[in-house]
Amino acid sequence: MAFGLQVRNASNQIRLDTTDRTFRLWSIATISTTADNTNLTVSVPGMRNDGTWEVLFQTGSTGNANMPTISLNSIYTNGYSVRVTTGFVFPAGSAVYFYATVFRS
Amino acid sequence: MSFGFRSLNSSGFLQIDEDYENYALYQSGTVTVSSTPWFPYGSSNYGGTGQPGSVITLPTGIPLGSLMVAVKPTTESGSPYVRAVIVSWNSSGTLNSRVVIHAKPSTNITYKIFRKSSFVTASGSYGLSVFKSNGDLAYNSNQGAMAIETISSGNVNGRNISYNISMSSLSGKYIVCQNIGANGQVNVSSFPPAFSARWAWNAAEFNYSTNKIKIGLPTEVASRLNSHLTLGYDYYSTPYHGLKQVMIGRVI
């Protein structure tokens, strides 16, 4: 190998190679809204739109007749923006929740 | 970081850092979804989500928002599609997590669930461990991990719009597609929408002949939906569509 880290297990199999690109947890945020079609911004110091950042969403709301959805609008310097569509939430006016996990690879 | 351990790969991407925890393989398995195809209309099917799916219930107590799921068709042939998301919620102090997988009817799907290294038991008595300054495990070479090959994004602004990701090979490739969301819903005009809607989910369609992954409404579902809508009884509404970002890689 030219440079970098290579780790092998007891069977001499490569567990991590010099070309592997792993990812790490950066932060987790809770996003909630009661308003349909809402744009929200989340501050993440250090974040950049350089292709090494990923935001993954998990739905945190239950009991809805229809699933709320969330979309990533953009990643920018020190944060990202999302759009939340609440759908037909029961009871009317209740909040929908998402958990947004930021990774960096 | 002012001291400690850091590893960069040959392209300059950070592999291991003592400040941040890597994600490690926590649980894996295979599910087979129903043989019932997605159908946009049916007298006994109002309110259904449509596409066949499976639910994996995880142990309680997992911190909300801390999981990631990667999936692939178990059999690497044809053009199967899959979608996998995580639902997690706090119910009177109990933290619940489920993985929901929708896929082409009768398809076997292999799933890999990841969480922070410090929550995953590592086997083996030697190798490399890196700890954070607070003592939490940041990386252990005996844990499974996902090696990212590409992060891709595109807009899917309707039932006939998708984007493709070309790979040199799809063999052994997993996708993290928690963000691709719903494409839209079929609404029966004469009923209240809350009781007549049927979701059509976006999915990752693996084409093992062309080595491409299509992000959007699966071809089979789009065909069925478009045929149905030409009848004119129902209408199709689409939620707001933003970037549909996915990660593709190998499990190492």
pLDDT tens digit sequence for B45-91: 333 445 677 889 999 999 888 889 999 999 999 999 999 988 888 88
* Residue carrying the six token digits 């999302």: A82
Mean of per-residue pLDDT scores for chain B: 82
Residue B115, pLDDT > 70, answer yes
Query: In B, which residues are within 8 Å of A38 by CB distance?
Result: none
* pLDDT tens per residue, range B96-113: 888 989 898 889 999 999
Q: With an 8 Å Cβ cutoff, is A97 touching chain B?
A: yes
The nearest alpha carbon in chain B to A64 belongs to B194
Query: In B, which residues are within 8 Å of A67 by CB distance?
Result: 49, 182, 199
Residue B13, pLDDT > 60, answer yes
Are the beta carbons of B87 and A59 separated by less than 8 Å?
yes
Give me the mean pLDDT over the B140-151 stretch.
Answer: 86
Q: List the alpha helices (DSSP H) in chain B.
A: 219-229
Are the beta carbons of A16 and B145 separated by less than 8 Å?
yes
pLDDT value of position B4: 65
Nearest to A68 by CA among B60, B197, B204, B37: B197
Say how far apart CA A101 and CA B5 lie, in whole Å: 24
Q: How many CB pairs under 8 A join A and B?
A: 177
Q: How many domains does chain A have?
A: 1
A90, part of any domain = yes
Give me the mean pLDDT over the A57-82 stretch.
Answer: 77
List Cβ neighbours of B5 (8 Å cut-off, separation of 6 or more).
Answer: B16, B17, B18, B130
pLDDT value of position B73: 97
Q: Which domain does B37 fall in, by range?
A: 6-251
List Cβ neighbours of B61 (8 Å cut-off, separation of 6 or more).
Answer: B94, B95
Which tokens in the block code for residue B225?
A: 């939906």
The nearest alpha carbon in chain A to B5 belongs to A5
Are the beta carbons of A16 and B193 separated by less than 8 Å?
no
Are the beta carbons of A99 and B88 separated by less than 8 Å?
yes
A27, part of any domain = yes
Are the beta carbons of B9 and A65 separated by less than 8 Å?
no
Q: How many domains does chain B have?
A: 1
B185: amino acid identity, one letter = Q
A10, part of any domain = no
B1, part of any domain = no
CATH of the domain at A91: 2.60.40
E-strand stretches of A1-105: 7-8, 14-16, 24-33, 38-43, 53-59, 69-76, 79-85, 96-104
Nearest to A58 among B138, B141, B178 (CB): B178
Residue A24, pLDDT > 90, answer no
pLDDT value of position B44: 35
pLDDT grade, residue A65 (50/70/90)? very low
C-alpha gyration radius of chain A: 19
Chain A 5-64, residues with CB within 8 Å of chain B CB atoms: 5, 7, 9-10, 15-16, 18-26, 28-30, 37, 51-52, 54-62
Residue A61, pLDDT > 70, answer no
> How far does B240 lie from chain A, in Å, by closest CA?
7
Q: Which domain does A47 fall in, by range?
A: 22-104
pLDDT value of position B69: 94
Are the beta carbons of B88 and A59 separated by less than 8 Å?
yes
Residue A22, pLDDT > 80, answer yes
Are the beta carbons of A66 and B85 separated by less than 8 Å?
no
* pLDDT tens per residue, range B174-231: 999 988 888 887 776 555 444 455 678 889 999 999 999 999 999 988 888 888 788 7
B127, part of any domain = yes
B210, part of any domain = yes
Say how far apart CA B64 and CA B89 lie, in whole Å: 7
The nearest alpha carbon in chain A to B199 belongs to A66
Say how far apart CA A21 and CA B13 lie, in whole Å: 6
Q: Which of A72-86, A89-103, B42-56, B113-127 has the weakest average pLDDT?
A: B42-56
Residue B13's SS3 state is coil
Residue B248, pLDDT > 90, answer yes
